[in-house]
Structure 1
Amino acid sequence: MIKNRNIFTILVVSMLFVGCTDLIDPAQENLRDKNTTYADPNFGLGLLTQGYTRIPTNGWSFSEVATDDAVTNVTTNGFLRLATGQWSASNNAADRWSSCYSGIQYMNIVLSEVEKMTFAEDPLVDNLFKNRIKGEAYGLRALFMYNLLQSHAGWVNGKLLGVPIYLTELNLNSNFNVPRETFNTCTAQVYSDINNAINLLPLDYVDVTNTANIPARYNTTGMTTAIFNRAMGVKFLGLMSGRIAKAIRSQVALLAASPAFADGSANGSNGTWEDAAQYAAEIIALKGGLAGLPSTFNSGVAWYRNTAEISALTAGANSPESLWRAGTSNDNTLEAANFPPTLFGSGNINPTQNLVDAFPDKNGYPITHSSTVYIQTNPYANRDPRLKEFILYHGNTAGVTNAAINMTTGNDAVNVLPTSTRTGYYMKKLLRQDVNYNPSGRNTQMHYKPRIRYTEIYLNYAEAANEAWGSISDPKGYGYTAYDIIKAIRKRALGITTDPYLESIKSDKVAMRALIRNERRLELCFEGFRFWDLRRWKVALSELNTPAKGIIVSGTSASPVYGAPVNVENRIFADHMYFGPIPYSETRKFSNLVQNDGWNN
């Protein structure tokens, strides 16, 4: 299951804390055995680094190309193959098995060895380092388990199973032929690890200026602000923290409460909508309640091109919208892959007509509603501003020259080049329009990848609260409702102070469910959510198999004619594909590792 079962025998150190004077200087050798870690704790910290490098959300997956939101012009894309009939237990673009179990192995080694290490001569500092490192390891282990459940949990003979649980270091003598635990057992283990992380870690990494601000569990005899800051201070921003651990708990609870998993967790305490709402509310409270939701379009919607905020990101600091992020990068990789051909890009991700139609009109009405101001012959006028922000359509502008894109003719039109759109649309979200990819004047700009956004957490609460007690009820006294959150998100996006459509359905739980899911679809599009959301919601199989649609624009650039939507790519999903498979190679090796129903190879 884990290709290198004794990771300690040959490990090249990846340094995490360069320049930290509290850590003993590393030895020169790159090949180390376990005993090395006791004399050289930098080597041990390299094990922790191996966990951070394996976080599945470090990069963009664009799994949307396996949904009704997008297609790709890259014929070898794994998610394209997954969506078009080639998904199998041995060919799985959504597989997280090896990477997450490798991460868990590293965390188990850290937890078993950290107390044997020395991180500073001062015992108070040394103890703080050990506590923090253990907390990080627990939090990362929980994160890996959550991702394993999302990708590989499933039903077997009427029982919802999770994955095998490993809490100790595996070596050549370990028993790898262990059965899968129940989904409930797995979520209970995740919650246990998260609680350990919360108890060991500071809520956030800040330099305290008064001993009264040091958490009581650390404020022992002899503790000073200087000592505390050496191990728990602001220089460790970006590492797993108490706040991040609580956000992961919100994600796990939402998964467990969702329709695809609820039947299997209903007999335990790990899968209620009330739990999911409570855990999201804890994060929202830390953000300042409803008022903490970033309220401006540029901060909350267009965060990826907010130059002032991005330029201010230093040393692990977050923007108002980002709860936890990966590092910044000064590049043009996203633009090179996704700009249209006339901007010298490869046009890889093509939004669908299905997604375009999900954006309401400028007043918040669905475009199929009787009160809409949507005009079929001028389909992009009078629309939700997020449409213009996220999707490049005919006449929309892009690039440093702010040029209008022409879909009627030329290289940006449908299927003209291998790099042209297949749907009549290009992805605009996530891209910096101040990147010039023209070879004669090519430049780069700063980007960052959020691992968790606050908008996700607010949407988690809205979904869970609506399911638990309806959209306008606040039985726990949080000071806001699911309705309040959706109203704030739509006000931020649409710029409207009144929302007649929302008002008309706010007491209708089913209609609010559809609206909340649609707002999640729009707000989080192209960020790797919809593939998993459709499955945890267990939408009708016919919805999973809805063809990806596009549009052909004819006429001239100034006088375009919009044709009827056309099928671009069929989706081929069977009933068992609500749940991903266990890797075929693993089930072949281990007889106790049973496969999810419906999957063979």
Structure 2
Amino acid sequence: MKKLLGLLLAGVALTTACKKDDFLEPRTSALTEDTVFSDSLRTFSFLSRVYADMGFSFAKGRWDSHGNTEEATDDAEYRYSGSGQKAVVLYSGTLTPLNFPFPEFYDLPWANIRRCNLLLSKLPTTPLAQSTKNRLALEARFLRAYYYEQLLVCFGGMPLIGDKVYGIEDVINQPRDSYADCVAYLSSELDACAAGLTSRANQNGTDYGRITSGAALGLKSRLLLEAASPLFNGGAETQDPSLAAVVSYPTYNVSRWQAAADAAQAVINLNQYALVEDNATAPGNGFYSLFLQRVNTEYILPFNRGANRDMEGFYFPPTRGGAWNAMPTQNIVDAFPMKSGKPITDPTSGYVATNPYVNRDPRFYNTIIYNQSLLFLSGAMAPVNTYEGAASDGFDGTTSVTGYYCRKMCDALSSANTQRAWPLLRYAEILLNYAEAINETGQTTLAVPKLIELRRRAGIDAGTDGRYGIPAGISQAQLRTFIQNERRIELAYEDHRWHDIRRWKIAMVTNNAYNNRMRIVRSGTTPNFTYTYNVVSSIRRHNFRPEMYLLPIPDGEIRKVPLMRQNPGW
């Protein structure tokens, strides 16, 4: 029996509809490859189908309408606790090649890679102007690289199939290419896309959200940062040299960090993007408002959405109509510094454990709903009560199990639908990419100005030295920790933490414990609150093993493709 790489054949209704009747579309009208690619509108619609999946990893309801990788980290506690829930499978470490209930990790990228290749093969014969064919080809090549990058960060090196379109009768038994070859291939593809695609400045309004040259360079920045990171830069969890070359670079090389810094600098040099900054309305208002704008100077790769209340419905507490699916942990609350920029562990920071939410980094107030914080309700701002026993929203093991709800990316000031786009890639990430990469080359002082940009926009005080809480004379190791924390709070709940703790190889620490929470008890008619740091009673303990730094390739794929090697430890 011929063995097929079924995922390369996924999403192929166009090639099978002509062979038999479909109950939704009789044979007389079913679409075939010829009918699709002989029509301009249908050709555009086919590419739009590939675009439509771009937000799959970011989507808040990625699993079971309420799960996402953020709930498998130390940043968020998942509302649901059933052992079969996908987020629980991921964070409890019960996944295996046979128990891998996450088809979108592997299947969805391959299905869209095939769609891109099919489009590329048909474009020359479509009735489109040559300039339009050229643009669509570059967009398809970017999208193919985008889905490949999703595979690389989760699994390591993958088979590089080029422009090949596999058919039903093809025998497919292709081995995985080396991680180095995959990175080189994707870098080359993204360079070509950047050279040929228009800039954001030259887009007309109807094209906003389509791929630009800046998006191509931005994705390259992310790719090369991952490639330079400890997991992939000589960090394979195996003693087999041939397998190590498949899942990572075999040995460490600091030059990869310089390449990552250069890639981020290339985006910065475009001078097309800027942080959304507004500290006049309120400290850090730019950080709050940017997520409520579909079009802004910071979004490099937006995923446009119709006006909606999706974020609010996912995160908000019961009194505001939310499903509180992911609740911030005390872990991430503690990561936010004070408004001075000093960490709460610094005895000179002014942090008071008995009044822990005063004078914090303004990003804290725009990310976390804490006890007594104000949120829109019935035409006015009203406090959210998360203390133990409080009606509806209180800490009781049924609603808030951490003492917090999430405010990030939500409209806290009205109940109207929001014109929003998901930030699949924004300029703040590029600044953090540069700072991390250049610090790892030993050029620590070059990283500081980018971090100052972020902290100034955040609304942190400049301080007498103008360093926004960044200590003078900070060492490379100290700045590494600082950057990791800055990235955590700046990009919280934006589909980064799960990948970051793996690529930094810190998940054995962050994900082998219970998430921390805060028990809040009210006393007196004039409310006084007692805050008790509770370190052991979150819903379930997180478990992480070294082999989980890379996900297992589903067993069915290994069986279908004998040359497809499994990841280390699985």
- Shared fold by TM > 0.5? yes
Contact 1:205 1:236 in 2 (8 A): no
Where in structure 1 do 4 or more consecutive aligned residues deviate above 3 Å?
A: 3-8, 92-95, 161-166, 266-271, 292-295, 297-305, 499-503
Deviation at 1:234, TM superposition (A): 5.1
Per-residue CA deviation, residues 538-566 of structure 1 (Å, 9 max, x unaligned), is 11623331321101111237200111323
TM-score by length of 1: 0.81
Deviation at 1:188, TM superposition (A): 1.5
Work out whether 1:562 is the aligned partner of 2:531: yes
One-letter amino acid of the counterpart of residue 306, structure 1: S
Work out whether 1:294 is the aligned partner of 2:300: no
Give me the whole-angstrom Cα distance separating, in 2, the residues matched to 1:549 and 1:525: 17
Work out whether 1:343 is the aligned partner of 2:339: no
Contact 2:435 2:450 in 1 (8 A): yes
Query: In 2 relative to 1, CA 343–152 (structure 1 residues): closer, same or farther, beyond 3 Å?
Result: same
Deviation at 1:329, TM superposition (A): 2.2
Give me the whole-angstrom Cα distance separating, in 2, the residues matched to 1:398 and 1:584: 47
| Aligned residue in 2 for 1:413 | 394
Q: Which runs of 5+ in 2 are unaligned?
A: 1-5, 19-26, 63-67, 235-247
Contact 1:332 1:435 in 2 (8 A): no
Contact 2:201 2:272 in 1 (8 A): no
Give me the whole-angstrom Cα distance separating, in 1, the residues matched to 2:76 and 2:276: 27
Give me the whole-angstrom Cα distance separating, in 2, the residues matched to 1:39 and 1:32: 11
Report SS of the residue matched to 1:260. coil
Aligned partner (choices 378, 383, 392) of residue 355 of structure 2: 378
Of 292-301 and 589-598, more deviation after overlay is shown by 292-301
Residue pairs, 1:166-205, within 5 angstroms: 166-204=162-200
Give me the whole-angstrom Cα distance separating, in 2, the residues matched to 1:300 and 1:241: 32
| Aligned residue in 2 for 1:222 | none
Aligned partner (choices 537, 549, 570) of residue 516 of structure 2: 549
Deviation at 1:321, TM superposition (A): 1.8
TM-score by length of 2: 0.85
Give me the whole-angstrom Cα distance separating, in 2, the residues matched to 1:245 and 1:288: 13
One-letter amino acid of the counterpart of residue 537, structure 1: W
Give me the whole-angstrom Cα distance separating, in 2, the residues matched to 1:322 and 1:359: 23
| Aligned residue in 1 for 2:502 | 535
Per-residue CA deviation, residues 233-278 of structure 1 (Å, 9 max, x unaligned), is 5543321121111111111101100010001326699970011001
One-letter amino acid of the counterpart of residue 347, structure 1: W
| Aligned residue in 2 for 1:486 | 451
| Aligned residue in 2 for 1:227 | none
Deviation at 1:444, TM superposition (A): 2.9
One-letter amino acid of the counterpart of residue 267, structure 2: I
Contact 1:582 1:595 in 2 (8 A): yes
Query: In 2 relative to 1, CA 234–428 (structure 1 residues): closer, same or farther, beyond 3 Å?
Result: closer
Give me the whole-angstrom Cα distance separating, in 1, the residues matched to 2:518 and 2:330: 7
One-letter amino acid of the counterpart of residue 289, structure 2: N
Contact 1:304 1:431 in 2 (8 A): no
One-letter amino acid of the counterpart of residue 125, structure 2: K
Aligned alpha-carbon RMSD (Å): 2.8
Contact 1:253 1:279 in 2 (8 A): yes
Query: In 2 relative to 1, CA 597–588 (structure 1 residues): closer, same or farther, beyond 3 Å?
Result: same
Deviation at 1:40, TM superposition (A): 1.6
Query: In 2 relative to 1, CA 98–30 (structure 1 residues): closer, same or farther, beyond 3 Å?
Result: farther
Report SS of the residue matched to 2:494. coil
Report SS of the residue matched to 1:495. coil
Give me the whole-angstrom Cα distance separating, in 2, the residues matched to 1:271 and 1:108: 33
Per-residue CA deviation, residues 123-180 of structure 1 (Å, 9 max, x unaligned), is xxx1101110111111111111101101211xxxxxxx44453531110122322111
Deviation at 1:346, TM superposition (A): 2.0
Query: In 2 relative to 1, CA 185–573 (structure 1 residues): closer, same or farther, beyond 3 Å?
Result: same
Give me the whole-angstrom Cα distance separating, in 2, the residues matched to 1:91 and 1:299: 46
One-letter amino acid of the counterpart of residue 360, structure 1: P
Per-residue CA deviation, residues 170-215 of structure 1 (Å, 9 max, x unaligned), is 10122322111111111112112212222332223627xxxxxxxx
| Aligned residue in 1 for 2:110 | 101
Contact 1:276 1:461 in 2 (8 A): yes
One-letter amino acid of the counterpart of residue 276, structure 1: A
Residue pairs, 1:242-253, within 5 angstroms: 242-253=213-224
| Aligned residue in 2 for 1:402 | 381
- Percent of aligned pairs sharing the same letter: 27
| Aligned residue in 2 for 1:284 | 268
Contact 2:340 2:460 in 1 (8 A): no
